[in-house]
Structure 1
Amino acid sequence: MDVTVIDTSALGDRSYLVHDGRVALVVDPQRDIDRVIAAAEAAGVRITHVAETHIHNDYVTGGLELARETGAAYLVNAADPVQFEHTPITDGERVDVGELQVRAVSTPGHTETHLSYVVTHDGEQAVFSGGSLLFGSVGRTDLVGPAKTTQLTHAQYASVRRLVGQAQEDAALYPTHGFGSFCSSGPATGADSSTMAEQRAHNHALTDEDEAHFVEQLIANLSAYPTYYAHMGPANLKGPDPVDLTVPEPLDADELTRRLQQGEWVVDLRERVAFADGHLSGAVSFEYGDGASFTTFLGWVLPWNDRITLAGSREQVEQAIRDLSRIGIDSPDAALGSGPAQMAPEVATASYRRVGWEQMLAERPSDEPVLDVRRADEYAASHVDGSVNVPLHELLTRMDEVPTGTVWVHCGSGYRAGVAASLIQRAGGSPVHVDAAFGDAEAAGVPLTA
């Protein structure tokens, strides 16, 4: 048995191509299925089965399109009320994929109908656990709805224990979530691989013998998750449309100017340093980088279904279109160029200051406020003395709570503060971007409250 990991670091998830050298099973494919097809071609195998562990809450699946493209059987829990052709599968059912024996195991918790898959080949086993058993943790249990969180947390506790009992100790574990995804919960280890034996020894869901304590602690540590999650489940139940990853014909300067003047969302993909130094007035900063923060925060912050224009280099725009398609933001428009002068030379430019902690300490007047745009749980753990907390994902709806005049904006790493500074300036405010890691604040002499 060979397992190819297809990593989607922008969302903290993984998909898997599992094969016997001839035919393959794909587990939890992302929407941009060209990566999966390329992996199968590189391995010289034919995809005959595609399996979903659950109806995903954090991304739009590529499972349906991949099954149609390859002619594969599409394995989906028989209890899921999906609106497309598929091969229903139930707990305990076995499917042969060439020489691989694939067995479904009911593991409710992350969702009510969650399945894991135990794959066996020549005495070797691998467990594909989706959002059930993760490396050091488990999938979060509050995405179905607040009224069901306690029930699903109890179910998660029982499910992971059942799962380890149905696999060999040396079985390799391959979860979908847990690599930065907001679908994970608890103390995820950051490990790159694991086995069932390692999880039995170290995973808090398996080492905590007090179920009530586990449930209480997991629920207490659940934090905010992206609002776009609300749109993922319905899209996946309906059956996503094929994705178009082509870069559209770029807008001309006049049309880009009109959109800025109309207050539409023009998203500058350049580095936040370049944006602070000079940008089209009215644009907002979502630095593309490697996409790890870009996708989550753009989808979380900007109003769903509002028209978006991506502004940057062709390569940045092409990559951003791919990343956004994974969360159902399809066919954004594009403005191509290296900066404001190329994109819309007639539009006024704007800028704001970027500083580190030492500069903030030395230069901030005592009457100018500090705005912390981290999540509420991060703020509660430790924050700058006297700072105001408005989480980035709530900023557009709470802009009236942002102090007037000059405001010094920070977050955990500098990324969210850069987005927030651009939004505040767009709304008429005067931000100073504290582009520094919060973990360095104390060493720089910034007074903190724990």
Structure 2
Amino acid sequence: MAGDFVDHVILHVKAGDGGHGCASVHREKFKPLGGPDGGNGGRGGNVVLEVDANTATLLAFHRRPHQRAGNGKQGMGSNRDGANGEDVLLQVPSGTVVKDADTGEVLVDLVGNGTRYVIAQGGHGGLGNAALASPKRKAPGFALLGEAGEARDVVLELKTVADVALVGFPNAGKSSLIAALSSARPKIADYPFTTLVPNLGVVTAGDVVYTMADVPGLIPGASEGRGLGHEFLRHVERCSTIVHVLDCATFEPGRDPLSDFETIEAELKAYGELHDRPRLAVLNKIDVPDARDLAELVRSSLEDKGVRVFEISAASHEGLRELSFAVAEMVAAARAATPVEEPTRLVIRPKQLGDTGFSVRRVGDNVFQVTGEKPQRWIKQTDFANDEAVGYLADRLNRLGIEEALAAAGAVAGAEVVIGSMEDGYVFDWQPTLNAEVRPGPRGTDNRFS
């Protein structure tokens, strides 16, 4: 039923958090110093979108807009790693466009059965103390915390994937035409806006098989969002061929096939250069005597615009065979002119960190900000209640070269250094040896670790 078709949703997704690493010492009779044996935490589950040929609507996400993957489990003793969190696989129709809800940026255009995209990545599991052991720290008494999974809001928009789009005013006979040409059985009635969702039909004409979309009726101002304009027009974007269905039996004042054609053409052009697609015009309802006379009257005017014209009756099926083969010819030509696409391959690129993986800048009087993927990740992996873990963090930051970079930027002993954002980053009082007192949280709080 029409009310079950949804082609626009906002989806709130949260990937799973990584499990914490385990700090454990192997204990066995007669072996009091068995060494560290804490396992790593499991990876958090991903949230994955996958194109499914049997899915035709975004209804499932309209009903359940919040989707969350499973968290990784904590590592255990005896070198047992925690289990990975379960991925969440969300099935979407082919033709689904994914946008960032905050910026409107198009993240991916999902076309083709089986195409996948990881919309939110699970957090890495923390290392256990067995993995952290080194000649310097033979028996670490700490482990790393798991990382939080990504959380984001995205917009899913469905654009119908079809070869041919039937466009025209409400009640022009598009639903009747697609029903007559294919096995589709859309809702048909004698009043405007019967069709509130796109209907798809498969048409066979000789050796050519193509899909036809019955796009809901357009009205003047649709390209500016009037009525349901934007919702309707985006279903035309993927079609290679446009068929104008013109009502020759309308009794509406101020309307006739020529003015209807020009109005729809203007809306297609205003929406985004859709007027450049190959098209033809169909003069429908010629089973009505007055309509046949009107069709013969306006045909030459349409042909003067360079448009092929067919007089048909969706009710009596007159002219449908010629129309179906003409459309098949146009579809075949469009397919031949389109280069063969390589299979979709989606690669999530790592963030560009630069040569050192961080940057340092002065933001105030003896106040400096450090940003970068590595130091910000390391901060989040650190258990600040464990002094040994804090010392390990200091060593990592030192090896990365932050101490030298701070000195080069003009920092002196006692400088306030913020790692991350200035609003909620982690702050430490820097000393040249990097034996700093670190405190998490917003700048200005007074909860330093001693």
TM-score, normalised with respect to structure 2: 0.20
TM-score, normalised with respect to structure 1: 0.20
Specify which structure has the higher proportion of helix: 1
Q: Which structure's CA Rg is the greater one?
A: 2
